[in-house]
Amino acid sequence: MNSLDQLRASSAIVADTAEFLQLPRLQPRDATTNPSLVLRALRQPEYAALIDADEVRAAARHDLDEAADRLLVRFGSEILERIPGRVSTEVDARLSHDAEASERRARRLIALYEAAGVPRTRVLIKLASTWAGIECARRLRDDGIACNMTLLFSFTQARAAAAAGVQLISPFVGRITDWARQQAGAAWDAQAMRGERDPGVQALLRIWRFYKARSIPTEVMGASFRDTAQLAALAGCDLLTVSPALLDALSADSAPMPRRLDPAHAGAAEDDAPLAVDAATFAEALGADAMASSKLAEGIAAFSADGEALLGLLRR
């Protein structure tokens, strides 16, 4: 088997792309999207026509936000025709600190999917892992709407998400490592920081072990990978969302990808921290974590900017 097939044997593979025409070749179980990936797809001629769909054009005449949601659901519906599992669709990142507004947008996305014949069980609503985002996910969970908590960088965010009973979290492995590399500067030793010694890998492993030791049902999906070494170190993680470029690299390789993470042998949690986190503790912990607070703010800003760019396309 090639490396990708070996990885599939221990982790569910998720395609990190909105380019649904690639999915039959990649054969993922699920797919994740975000404003940046949708915008990238729309700049290619084979996807540009989606913005001209009648329902998108009609909505754009009176409400650009609704038009954007309809466009996201168009992409999501096309994706679901080509995969057996779920698609993650993101709520407008500009609402990341507003639980009520995020909930309204999330419910509209689900309503649009259901109007298109897609059951809510095949959709994960993506929300930034802010306190407001996690509170929104808690409310949606009570109505059978599953969420994917994105832009997750810290153990505290992971604890709060699990306490809220969210379906899935997405620790951003690569961006955590990016931060560590930037802080180290010239002292960074790339070879010494590969595999299990990678800071992003270590951050995910801490969360994964904590969840498994406590039998927490929230799924852990590694995200934002920079190389195949990070993937190899996390073989066996519940899910791994991977760019088409890295999936192709794995397909072309035959390097061994044995299971490294096995819930049956997760052992005791390294942390005895309580699961529950209140708003004050969450804010204090995030404020004291320069990496997590910086990367969270940076991610929200980037997704918000791409969301604005998407609205610009719809306006024209």
Neighbours of 34 (CB within 10 A): 24
Phi then psi for 271, rounded to 5 degrees?
-115, 140
Helix residue spans in the chain (DSSP H) = 3-8, 23-26, 35-42, 45-48, 54-60, 64-80, 99-115, 131-141, 155-163, 173-184, 199-213, 228-233, 244-251, 279-288, 290-315
What DSSP character marks residue 259? -
Mapped onto helix, strand or coil, the DSSP state of residue 265 is helix
Structure tokens at 222: 């590694």
Predicted confidence at residue 48, as pLDDT, reads 92
Predicted confidence at residue 265, as pLDDT, reads 82
112-128 confidence digits (pLDDT tens): 999 999 999 999 999 99
**Could you tell me if residue 70 is left (phi over 0), alpha (psi between -120 and 50 degrees) or otherwise beta?**
alpha
Neighbours of 233 (CB within 10 A): 23
Phi then psi for 13, rounded to 5 degrees?
-95, 130
Rounded to whole angstroms, how far apart are CA atoms 39 and 80?
A: 19
Q: Exposed/middle/buried for 116, CB within 10 Å: 0-12, 13-18, 19+? A: middle
Predicted confidence at residue 272, as pLDDT, reads 80
Rounded to whole angstroms, how far apart are CA atoms 2 and 284?
A: 45
Structural domain count, the chain: 1
Which residues have a catalytic role annotated? 126
Predicted confidence at residue 270, as pLDDT, reads 65
Taking the CA atoms of 131, 137, 141 and 146 in sequence, report the sign of the dihedral they define. negative
Predicted confidence at residue 160, as pLDDT, reads 97
Rounded to whole angstroms, how far apart are CA atoms 116 and 71?
A: 12
226-285 confidence digits (pLDDT tens): 999 999 999 999 999 999 999 999 999 999 999 999 998 876 666 788 888 999 999 999
Average pLDDT, the chain: 96
Give the range of the structural domain holding residue 215, as residue numbers without chain letter: 3-315
Can you tell me which residue has the tokens 């024209």? 316
Q: What is this structure's pTM?
A: 0.96
- The residue length of the chain stands at 316
CA 298 to chain centre: 15
Structure tokens at 218: 């929230």
Could you tell me the CATH number of the domain that includes residue 256? 3.20.20.70
Neighbours of 183 (CB within 10 A): 12
